[in-house]
Chains A and B, each alone.
Chain A
Amino acid sequence: MNVWSVIRSILGRRGVERDIAEEVEAHLQHRVDDLVASGLSPEEARGQAEVEFGDVERIRRECAAERLQAERSAGLSHALDTWRQDVTYALRQIRRSPGFAAVAILTLALGIGATTTIAAVVHAVVLAPLPFAHPDRLVYVQETTPRGDWFSVAEGNFLDWRDDTSTLADVGALTFRGGTVQAGSEPRRVSVAWTSASLSRTLGVTPMLGRNIQDDEDRPGAPGPVTVLTYHGWQDLFQGDPSVVGRDVILDGTAHTVVGVLPDGLSFLARADLLVPLGASPTSDRGEHYLDVWARLTPGSDIEAARAELSALSREIDATHPEIAGWGVRLTAAVDQLVGPDLQRAGWVLLAAAVLLLLIACVNVSNLLLARSTLRRGEVGVRLALGAGRRRIVRQLLTESLILSGFGGLAGLLITVAALPTVQRLGGDRIPRLDQAAVDPTVLVACLAAVVVAALLFGMVPGLDLGGRNVGSSGPVDALRASQRVDASSGRGLRSAMVVSQIALSMALLLGTGLLVHSFLRLSSADPGFDPEHALTADLSMPDAVYSPDQRRTLVAELLDAVGRVPGVDAVGVTAVKPFSGMNLANFTAREDRMPADARDFLPIAWRVVSPGFFRAMGVKVLEGRTFRDDDGAGEGAWTVIVSKSLARELWPDGDPVGGTLVWGDPQGSRMRVVGVVDDVQDVHAGQEPPPLLYVPHREMPWAAVTLVARVHDSSAAVAAAIRSAVRRTAPGLAVPELSSLREDVRSAVAPRRFNALILGTFAGTGLLLALVGVYGVTAFGVSGRVREIGIRLALGGEPEGILRMVLAHSLRLSILGTLMGAGLAWGTQLWLSRTTDGFLSSMLYHTQTTDLATWVVVPAVLLGAALVAAWIPARRATRVDPREALADQ
């Protein structure tokens, strides 16, 4: 029951009470009549009648209560009745004009489908809780250098924190490494998470089979190696065998007993195939930072308290470990670490764009309804004449809007279901949790919200137009008369306003998209410092347990030789850091001749371990000196190293680095002789400035996990297969994965930005199309209403060109106004964003200002040009009006 019927029943109560009072009085009068007839005086009779009747007041109240209850149930069934009538009527209206309904529903489906799809993505990627117990109490811990750079954590520091903290309930650590599993006869490359036993407690992870790794298994040299499979590893290595617990996995030549299996979808843990004990040692080198550390806050503490405590612990560590003096800690809430501001921002931008599209769709449908409402004036007039209230009419129209919108929502859901797999493929695996986007209850609620909001928005204007003063203001008779003709002049102002708003919304959407697309194009064409075309990569792992450093040196030399002989291969090399794999190596360096006394004044750098052929295989230009030779890194004394252009510029701003000497890590570190300078390379974060890079020969540091890079004539499958078999022949124990192309690796690095650009582009394109349909429709409707006027003009000798100009000028005025308003809207938004947020826009845009001239010129030009074309079609029709027909018609 709505508010109105409550109010009505309160007002109606007085009538009911009068009715009851009258009835009671009639009873008393009749009794008085009888008693007087039997001889009593009127006064006595009245007295006796009242005594016999009983408590008049109470009885009145009881009667009134009965009546009120009666009205309530009647009111409810009446409301249901009205609603059923409205729905039936609305369905009949939709059936009567299937063309209109189809266009409206399709338009709404586009808007609602876009909104629902993005809602599903944002819900899964940004909003869904992390798959850990009480994720709000989970923090990610890093170390910070004295200069403020972030580093992973050293084993010793992790152990000190774990054992000495009181603000953290538990601290867990892990690091990912490649490994080789012997599965049948074929060696297989797997991703291994080396985890502390405390990690599963910290995260609150419960295995679906078996148990977690235990503390006594997580010590250096613990007996009987064990492993816990991730869901993915369980499926891949054991085909989901439920009796896997207790069986062995041969990992890097050693049998590990499977003690448990983790459930699916555990965020970063799912990147691994299996978990093995980390066995962190307090005596390990504190300069080796490679652990990801997660911690759970105790119920009484917060992230600030934990930060203060860990910082204090770091000062204590300074005393015992001067080599890392001045290092600090950085704590990040788990959600910020795992979802991150970039994804959150991108999510909101996409959602805003989807809502803009929905608004444009609403304006379009509103426009359609408004055109129809002109035709429906007669119908509404008839209903008014038959006694329908205006409120009832408005309600009827809103019901129709809701039903249209509901159908649009259903179709939109279908679009979402159909589009989600494509959207997920677009994002690839670079957008975490995107694969979990699905039409779930939350998304259904979002869809329902979109349906209702859309219905209110697009139903409002026609509802006001029809239900308001415009119809039958001087009585239903006028409205009935109006039904005899189409009066296109009525509602013209409204329709013009809507075209303007539609163009404005499209303009804003197009401008935002233009900036993002332009930024993406710049990013895609940005020079990474190497040539990603015609290059293949393959990850190889030569674990410590199987290969000694010398064996690795020999094996790599043999592999490079064998692959280099494969026909079609121009150059081949290895590197310890696969481009855009997310991995990085960092350290510090200084010039020996200008060495600071304190390690904390050393320059932070990224470094790479590579073989001589790497630079040619990657296509990195050598600027000065030479690249590595096969004998580099074999001898005693100073290392042989190569520096990147930016490192050379940083340390030798006005000199020649070739022949200079660098120091590794701290004043006591190894001495390194620079033999060459190569071009800058960006291989970690697409779109960022290349870091100063130092290259060390693989022979100097025979890294276990390397990526083979081969430059080939053509990237055909035949060459890839030949490379694989060459590797397999040379090193039968090595797991050889499928080769991937370097181009693909680079592409996947910019996948999130491509995802944003593509989806925004789709939205903007759809929005533009809808806006053009709007311009076309309104112009066409305007022309059809002015046929008579145009006929007269032509009859009086008006030139068709003049008519064309007149119609186009009107439409163009609206478009220009809309464009200006849209530009204002976009400008205001970017001003607001740059004032209220820190780096929101610059984080979304690569080397592109919000004032990007190309975007601000191209977008309005395209929009106005397209709008002109959309108006031109109906305008031309206007010039073909036959004056005689036009005049006779009316």
Chain B
Amino acid sequence: MMRMDILQGTLDVLVLRTLAASGSIHGYQIARTIKERSEDVLQVEEGALYPALHRLERKGWIRSQWGRSENRRRAKFYQLTGAGRRALQQEVSAWDRYTSAVGKVLSDVPSGPTGSTK
């Protein structure tokens, strides 16, 4: 299993992406979802999620409220805001531009064109 330290900005995008897909979920669920989606390739130090959540909340991209989880425990639920949704779109398109650029560079390797890695 390959482990990578993930960059802060990447974590933010992952959190936004997760919330965009799931509606209102609490911190533990976010952590689980990111782990499953990245097929354990990205092994997050789970706690690192929380400063990211508070940072995103400060930026006004997500909002939170306390509630009850499915196993009847108190938990803080997070939800994407309109500003967060716009920020996510920008981040995703920036990410696409970045990966396609990297792909083009890699495709110039003599082994011949292999197409986009997207």
| A residues adjacent to B (C-beta < 8 A) | 20, 22-24, 26-27, 29-31, 33, 52-56, 58-59, 62-63, 65-67, 69-70
Contact = CB atoms under 8 A, between A and B. Distances in A.
27 contacts: A22-B74, A23-B27, A23-B75, A24-B47, A26-B27, A26-B73, A27-B28, A27-B31, A27-B46, A30-B69, A30-B71, A31-B46, A33-B73, A53-B46, A53-B47, A54-B45, A55-B47, A59-B50, A62-B51, A62-B54, A63-B50, A63-B51, A65-B51, A66-B51, A66-B57, A67-B58, A70-B58
Interface centre among B31, B47, B48, B73 (most CB of A within 10 A): B47
Nearest to A57: B47
Interface in B35-49: 45-48
Contacts of B48: 54, 59
Given A30-B73, A66-B51, 8 more contacts: A22-B74, A23-B27, A23-B50, A31-B46, A52-B46, A54-B45, A66-B55, A66-B57
B54 A63 contact: yes
Nearest to B27: A27
A52 B47 CA distance: 8
B15 to A, nearest CB: 14
| Chief secondary structure at chain A's binding surface | helix
Given A23-B50, A27-B28, A70 B76 contact: no
A47 to B, nearest CB: 14
Nearest to B45: A54
Contacts of A22: 74, 76
Interface string B55-76: 1011000000000010101111
Interface of B: 26-28, 31, 45-48, 50-51, 54-55, 57-58, 69, 71, 73-76
A29 B31 CA distance: 14
A116 B47 CA distance: 63
Contact of B75 (A30, A54, A70): A30
B118 to A, nearest CB: 31
A79 B57 CA distance: 21
Contact of A67 (B27, B54, B69, B71): B54
Contacts of A20: 50, 54
Nearest to B57: A70
Contacts of A63: 50-51, 54
A56 B45 CA distance: 11
Given A31-B28, A59-B48, A66 B71 contact: no
Nearest to B29: A30
Nearest to A71: B58
Contacts of B75: 23, 26, 30
Given A26-B28, A27-B28, A66-B54, A56 B74 contact: no
Contact of A69 (B27, B58, B74): B58
A59 B57 contact: no
B32 to A, nearest CB: 8
Contacts of A54: 45-48
Given A30-B69, A31-B28, A66 B46 contact: no
Given A67-B54, A70-B57, A33 B71 contact: yes
Interface pairs A-B: 7 shortest CB-CB: A66-B54, A62-B51, A54-B45, A30-B28, A54-B47, A59-B47, A70-B58
A54 B57 CA distance: 22
Contacts of A65: 51
Given A62-B51, A63-B50, A26 B74 contact: yes
A520 B92 CA distance: 87
Contacts of A67: 54, 58
Contacts of B54: 20, 62-63, 66-67, 70
A29 B48 CA distance: 17
A63 B50 CA distance: 7
B69 to A, nearest CB: 7
Contacts of A30: 26, 28, 69, 71, 73, 75
Nearest to A37: B71
The residue in A30, A52, A67 that gathers the most chain B C-beta atoms within 10 A of its C-beta is: A30
B71 A24 contact: no
A674 to B, nearest CB: 101
A29 B71 CA distance: 10
A54 B44 CA distance: 10
A67 B58 CA distance: 7
Contact of A66 (B31, B47, B58): B58
* Most chain A CB within a 10 A radius of its CB, from B45, B50, B74: B50
Nearest to A29: B73
Nearest to A28: B28
Nearest to B53: A63
Nearest to B60: A70
A599 B37 CA distance: 116
Contacts of A69: 58
Nearest to A67: B54
A409 to B, nearest CB: 40
A22 B64 CA distance: 14
A709 to B, nearest CB: 88
Nearest to B26: A26
A594 B86 CA distance: 112
- Among A20, A63, A69, max chain B CB count under 10 A is at A63
Nearest to A59: B47
B112 to A, nearest CB: 43
Contacts of A55: 47
A24 B69 CA distance: 14
Contacts of B26: 26, 30
A685 B46 CA distance: 93
Nearest to B56: A66
B21 to A, nearest CB: 19
Contacts of B47: 24, 27, 53-56, 58-59
A26 B58 contact: no
A66 B45 CA distance: 19
A26 B50 CA distance: 12
A401 B57 CA distance: 40
A63 B51 CA distance: 5
A36 to B, nearest CB: 11
A66 B56 CA distance: 9
B82 to A, nearest CB: 19
Most chain A beta-carbon neighbours within 10 Å: one of B31, B54, B58, B71: B54
